[in-house]
Amino acid sequence: MSVFVEKFADIKILRYELPGFEKLSLQQKQYIYYLSQAALCGRDILFDQNNRWNLKIRQLLETVYKSFTGNRDSDEFKALHLYLKQVWFGNGIHHHYSTEKFKPTLSREAFQQLLAQADLSELSFQDELPHVLDVIFNPELDAKGISLDSNSDLLKASAMNYYQGVEQQEAEAFYEAKRKSVPEHAPSFGLNSTLVKDGGELKEDVWHCGGKYGKAIQQIVGWLKKAAPFAENDLQKEVIAKLVAYYESGDLKQFDDYSIAWTNENEGLVDFVNGFIEIYGDPLGIKASWESIVNYKDLEGTKRAIVLSENAGWFEANSPVDPKFKKAEVKGVSAKVIHVAMLGGDCYPATPIGINLPNSEWIREEFGSKSVTIDNITQAYFQDSLGNGMLEEFAASEAEIQRAREFGQLAGNLHTDLHECLGHGSGRMQPGVKPEDLKNYYSTLEETRADLFALYYIADEKLLQLGLVPSAESGKAEYDAYLRNGLITQLTRIELGKDLEESHMRNRQLITRWAFEHGKADGVVELIKKDGKTVVQINDYARLRELFGQLLNEVQRIKSEGDYEAAKALVEAYAVKIDPQLHGEVLERFKKLNIAPYAGFLNPELKLVTGSNGQVADVAVEYQSDYSAQMLHYSEKYGFLVK
């Protein structure tokens, strides 16, 4: 099966396969089916979280697209379709990485002419259409989804929908007071609510079955309950029961109960994530976007992850971090390699390649964490990259190209294993310190910390001793790839003149730029010209590893002590600004390759197959090939917040 589906704007759509799905038992397949339905029911939640106008804009665009009676081959209609595809991909009107607002390639006047040839009678917000059009076409209105500019009020500068009428200082003070009232084992206050100002008083509109997003959450709960009878063991049933209880109450203490039970369940082949999880969409790092992933183990790949988790104590003890910031005892670290069967919410269409949860620091320290590397997603990326010319254009030498071809995929997967399984789970906070102390810099610093842990150990002899790599060349391949990406190729994703905004991109530039600058005197890493083109050349891999260790020590200290000023200084100095001359060169070279810098995925469609007796006999997998059709289908079937 070809993984490529289509390309538009700066985005390509791929497909992932479900290896070995046919070998699962009927019970496991049905468990995956019902969990997958639950994974698709929260889509509208994410759209609304990203911006309060997103659902109305999506509904308007889809209505015009479906009911338009004019020339569908016109440039104007094609421009509307392009904009709609971008909105689908970004789960709203802002780019999923840059968080800049999408700019339609047709004028407001041309758009209104399209409206005149469409049936808008079913729209319930006709009186708001002028403002909806303002949001779409006025570049100054809701310009950025998430602003990380520490010189401004982050809430006023961001268009996300987690706060209404609330200023940054008010929100921070509100949640600081809550945390002080519960000094130990406090839940993640604010994780599942919209903070609103009502008559001058701050109140939380909690997301649960009987509250905000209730129509969608009730559907999620209904499918979770249908999944429970097909669970593989009693603990999986307990996990679902606790998640349902949390969704029904909105009580974050029950979310912690669910998280602990979920962390402890490692025996089943099938697993899932479903809930308000990651805080990247909130500039204050408090509130979580809704996401879901349904998956099953890759048994062969999991052998690699198990070796790492079984040796987690050794890696923690031998890290280059100050002993007072290390865990005295590593508990409950589990890891596996998985195949994703369904993506939902903030994991769709763009998806992570690895996950480490839960995010609660006290649960990590007392109960451990669970990490996954998503093999069928990384495999799809690898297949798509073959022969696209990117490596040949930006690698410094033929030796680097050969290392990448021979060891690149293994090294990349190992980096993800180390990042998720050990990196995020490493280290400990000092008493009284909280992730929120780092405010808008926490997400960048946490990803930096996990990447540095992976980079430090990807070149360690321990991996050879454990039989995880065939030679030390795999570590070199990952160093080549990481510096090539962090210093050069990730710039292809950024518009000329813009700063880096997304946390993962900032973290990669922070690490590579810091290592480049601090190794400059010794010539550890150089930016050289090859045939007149800038490339990264690593001259001393051993010294580079030492630099990664030094930076890891400092970043762990910053996190452990909640040193906001040091976090700010580090990020602002190395992670934000881009050399405009180098950036222009890279964009020009990349343009000639005609490659989309961002990728997302179509989900397969899972269908229950019944026998002649009316009983379920199998679950069929149908791979999709029409991006617009899948998006329209999801809006129709799972659009619970617009009906």
Asked, for residue 306, whether it belongs to a domain, the answer is yes
| Pair (503, 360) in one structural domain | yes
Q: What does DSSP say about strands 11-15 and 4-8: parallel, antiparallel, or unpaired?
A: antiparallel
Percent of the chain residues past pLDDT 70, beyond the cut? 100
- For residues 418 and 454, what is the distance between their CA atoms, to the nearest angstrom? 5
Q: pLDDT tens digit string along 71-128?
A: 999 999 999 999 999 999 999 999 998 899 999 999 999 999 999 999 999 999 999 9
pLDDT recorded at residue 518:
98
| Structural tokens at position 229 | 């009878």
Give the model's pLDDT for residue 584.
Answer: 97
Q: Quick check: is 625 in a domain? A: yes
Q: What is the reported pLDDT for 401? A: 95
Q: To the nearest whole number, what is the mean pLDDT of the chain?
A: 96
Tell me if 204 is assigned to some domain: no
Identify the domain containing residue 109 by its residue range.
Answer: 4-143+611-638
What is the predicted pLDDT for the residue at 387?
81
270 part of a folded domain: no
Q: Is residue 14 part of a domain?
A: yes
Please tell me the total count of domains within the chain: 2
Examine residue 93 and state whether it is found in any structural domain, yes or no. yes
Specify whether 431 is located in the same domain as 328: yes
Q: State whether 431 and 322 are in the same domain.
A: yes
Residues 432 and 564 in one domain: yes
Work out the average pLDDT over 605-631: 97
Assess if residue 80 is contained within a domain: yes
Adjacency order of strands within the sheet including 163-164: 163-164, 193-198, 201-206
pLDDT at 643 over 80: no
Helices (H), ranges, 459-497: 461-465, 473-487
Q: Tell me the residue ranges of DSSP E strands in 439-532.
A: 525-530
Q: For residues 538 and 621, state if they share a domain.
A: no
Please indicate, yes or no, whether residues 584 and 633 belong to a single structural domain of this protein.
no
How does pLDDT run across 556-597, given as a tens digit for each residue?
Answer: 999 999 999 999 999 999 999 999 999 999 999 999 999 999
pLDDT above 90: residue 365: no
- Per-residue pLDDT at 385: 87
Residues 551 and 419 in one domain: yes
* Cis amide leading into 431 (omega within 30): no
Do 545 and 617 have their domain in common? no
Q: What is the dihedral of CA 63, 66, 72, 78, to 10 degrees?
A: 60
Q: Looking at the predicted structure, is the pLDDT value of residue 631 above 80?
A: yes
Model confidence pLDDT, tens digit, residues 478-533: 999 999 999 999 999 999 999 998 999 999 999 999 999 999 999 999 999 999 99
Q: What is the pLDDT of residue 505?
A: 95
Residues 439, 501 share a domain: yes
430 Ramachandran zone, left/alpha/beta (phi>0; psi -120 to 50): beta
The predicted structure's pLDDT at residue 182? 85
pTM of the model: 0.90
Q: Assess whether 563 and 510 both reside in one domain.
A: yes
| Residue 523 and residue 441 in one domain | yes
| 622 in the same domain as 516 | no
Q: For residue 359, is it within any domain?
A: yes
